[in-house]
Amino acid sequence: MKVAFVGDVHGCVLHALGAVALLQDRRGIGLDAVIQVGDLGAYPSLERFDESSRRFWRDHPAQGDFFRLLDPSPSFAEGVRLALERVPSVLFVSGNHEDHDWLASLHEAAGAESVPVDPFGAYRHVACGNVVEVAGQRVAFLGLVEAPGKMDLDESAYARLMAVEPGGVDVLVTHDGPYGMSRDRQGSVQGSGKLLRLIEHLQPRLHVSGHYHHANGPRRYGRTTSYALAQLVQPKATRWEPEPINPGQRVTAGSVGLFDTGTGDFEYVCDEWLADVRGDALDLAELVTATR
């Protein structure tokens, strides 16, 4: 079976659906599941946006596509419907840029470990600490990041996964990455010590994460191979890199991964056609209609 993994989306939900639809088409494969590693940008309204998301949205209109997903125009809805005729709904874990209270209320109302967050069921949130069968794999989900405050890893969810026997999961999906995976611009070590201990305990054959916005891997932790995904759509420019980085708002190479559950092979998707998924106002219906 084939599973696609998608890096931090930050609201660009049409770009994510377009990327996996083209992945199927250009590779001539069928996807059995799609998993997103957090920072989907799931907020119920613009008023609930956190300040950094609001700041980036001003210059990156596609980061508001999640709001349009909740209250779509007819043309927007048509694009999503066409995409979902071709690709599976996307399972996602919490990042540090979501409305966690809103997501928790959806789970409470449904009484379920996995809940749709939009009227199409295009994106389904998996609560932290759950192990779900996906494409024949036992997949554990743990969102948020190791940091003081409300974004910190959920202690009870972490404890539940630490109680799973070694080898009890095949795939671990987290938002944060394991301690020591990389360094930031100041040279500080990035990653979570708790996640490193969780990986070393569970020993899944695959671990996939996001958060740091660059592809990083493969890294080996015993029998586990770990990969971090790039941000799906890099910003047009940043305060550190004022020269244009991604003015066309194209999907980034290394922001999508493809996992073959039979062989255990994982690859970063870096194909040139990723650049066909682009723009501040992506026409998903046109893009999907052009696929086979």
pLDDT over threshold 90, residue 42? yes
Return the pLDDT at 279. Answer: 97
Tokens 């550190």 sit on residue: 240
> Is 259 within 8 Å of 5 (Cβ atoms)?
yes
pTM of the full predicted structure? Answer: 0.97
Where exactly are the structural domains of the chain? 2-289
Burial class (CB in 10 A: 0-12, 13-18, 19+), 22: buried
Which H, E and C letters describe 196-229, residue by residue?
A: HHHHHHHCCCEEEECCCCCCEEEEEECCEEEEEC
- Condensed to tens digits (0 to 9), the pLDDT of residues 91-128 reads 999 999 999 999 999 999 999 999 999 999 999 999 99
Return the pLDDT at 75. Answer: 95
pLDDT over threshold 80, residue 71? yes
> Is 151 within 8 Å of 197 (Cβ atoms)?
no
pLDDT category of residue 79 using cuts at 50, 70 and 90:
very high
Architecture of domain 2-289: 4-Layer Sandwich (3.60)
CB atoms within 10 A of CB 71: 11
Q: How far apart are the first and last CA of the chain?
A: 20
The mean pLDDT of 22-44, rounded to a whole number, is 97
Residue type, 198: L
- Condensed to tens digits (0 to 9), the pLDDT of residues 219-278 reads 999 999 999 999 999 999 887 777 889 999 999 999 999 999 999 999 999 999 999 999
How far is it, in rounded angstroms, from Cα 202 to Cα 8? 24
- Condensed to tens digits (0 to 9), the pLDDT of residues 153-189 reads 999 999 999 999 999 999 999 999 999 898 888 888 8
CB atoms within 10 A of CB 31: 19
> Is 245 within 8 Å of 234 (Cβ atoms)?
yes
Residue type, 197: R
Return the pLDDT at 187. Answer: 86
Helix axis angle for 13-27 and 74-84, nearest 10°, is 40
- CB within 8 Å of 84: residues ≥ 6 apart: 17, 120, 121, 122
> Is 7 within 8 Å of 210 (Cβ atoms)?
yes
Return the pLDDT at 7. Answer: 98
Residues of the chain with pLDDT > 70: what percent? Answer: 100
pLDDT over threshold 90, residue 57? no
Cis peptide before 178 (omega within 30 of 0): no
pLDDT over threshold 90, residue 52? no
| CA 114 remoteness from chain centre | 15
